[in-house]
Amino acid sequence: MKIFLDTADVAEIREYAASGLVDGVTTNPSLAAKAGKDYVESLKEICSIVPGAVSGEVLATDFAGMMKEAEVLRKIAANIAVKVPLTWDGLKACAKLSGEGTMVNVTLCFSPVQAWMAAKAGATFISPFIGRVDDMGEDGLGLIHDIRAVYDNYNFKTEILAASIRSVSHVRECLLAGADVATMPASIFKALISHPLTDKGLAAFMADAKKANVTIKGA
């Protein structure tokens, strides 16, 4: 499963991309505003840092407006994925853009039927919002399982990009459910390798090494 960071903080992206573990970025104008940067300029910089897909979201809600904004976004870099909403105009734009060779991320997905429609429109990525589904009292991870089953049944190549991830447990369940990508804030990315037994084991190992006066000569 690929890891995307859900942020527009360029310094944050640069820091964690250096680990070699970040495969892409999802962002939107709201995240860029929080980071205090112009959206297009922010996307240019992010695309230069991350080799994988970088989602840039349109603001328009009508087909013509989406296509006009998409024209600006896809000129930024080859790894831009234009993010459009899961509406009739959004799917129309998706079909047009994907037909022209542009990656498209269809966002705000809340049902397997919506995901099916996005795949038929040629979406590169579908973004089910599992946390928001949970907030409604429904099963966000169940949605990932259902979309996986639909896509596997019909050999769709659209990648399931799990979004609205709230915890490390969400990431674990996405792995088990067969999501292709999980996008998450940096706080969750940092927590992925944390475990109290790892910390305890390392402390014991270091204490034993110090007690035995063990060194690695030449280092």
Is the pLDDT reported for residue 192 higher than 90?
yes
User: What is the percent of the chain with per-residue pLDDT over 90, rounded to a whole number?
Assistant: 83
Is 202 domain-assigned? no
The structure's pTM equals 0.93
- Domain that residue 16 falls in: 2-194
Q: What is the pLDDT of residue 209?
A: 74
Distance CA 182, CA 184 (A): 6
Is 102 domain-assigned? yes
Is 9 domain-assigned? yes
Count the domains in the chain.
Answer: 1
Mean pLDDT for the stretch of residues 77-96 = 98
* CA-to-CA dists, residue 77 to 57, 72, 141, 166, 207, angstroms: 14, 10, 33, 30, 50
pLDDT tens column, 134-143? 999 999 999 9
Lowest mean per-residue pLDDT among 1-10, 49-58, 60-69, 198-207: 198-207
Distance CA 200, CA 84 (A): 45
115, 145 Cβ separation under 8 angstroms:
no
Token pair 């995240």: residue: 31
Mean pLDDT for the stretch of residues 162-189 = 97
Is 217 domain-assigned? no
pLDDT tens column, 19-69? 999 999 999 888 888 878 899 999 999 999 999 999 999 999 999 999 999
Distance CA 121, CA 90 (A): 10
Mean pLDDT for the stretch of residues 163-175 = 97
Q: Where residue 206 falls among pLDDT bands split at 50, 70, 90?
A: confident
Q: Which of 34, 83, 92, 120 is the catalytic position?
A: 83
Known catalytic membership, residue 83: yes
Is 77 domain-assigned? yes
Report the candidate in 144, 203, 153, 154 with the shortest Cα–Cα distance to residue 176. Answer: 144
Is 214 domain-assigned? no
CATH number, domain with residue 11: 3.20.20.70
Distance CA 23, CA 79 (A): 11
The one-letter amino acid code at 163 reads A
Q: What sign has the CA pseudo-torsion 34, 36, 38, 41?
A: negative
Tell me the two tokens of residue 52.
Answer: 């994988």
Q: What is the pLDDT of residue 93?
A: 98
- Give all strands (DSSP E) within the chain, no chain letters: 2-6, 24-26, 54-57, 80-85, 103-109, 125-128, 159-162, 181-184
Tell me the two tokens of residue 164.
Answer: 């609205």
Is 91 domain-assigned? yes
What lies within 8 Å, CB to CB, of 45 at 6+ separation is: 10
Is the pLDDT reported for residue 219 higher than 80?
no
User: What is the percent of the chain with per-residue pLDDT over 70, rounded to a whole number?
Assistant: 100
Is 67 domain-assigned? yes
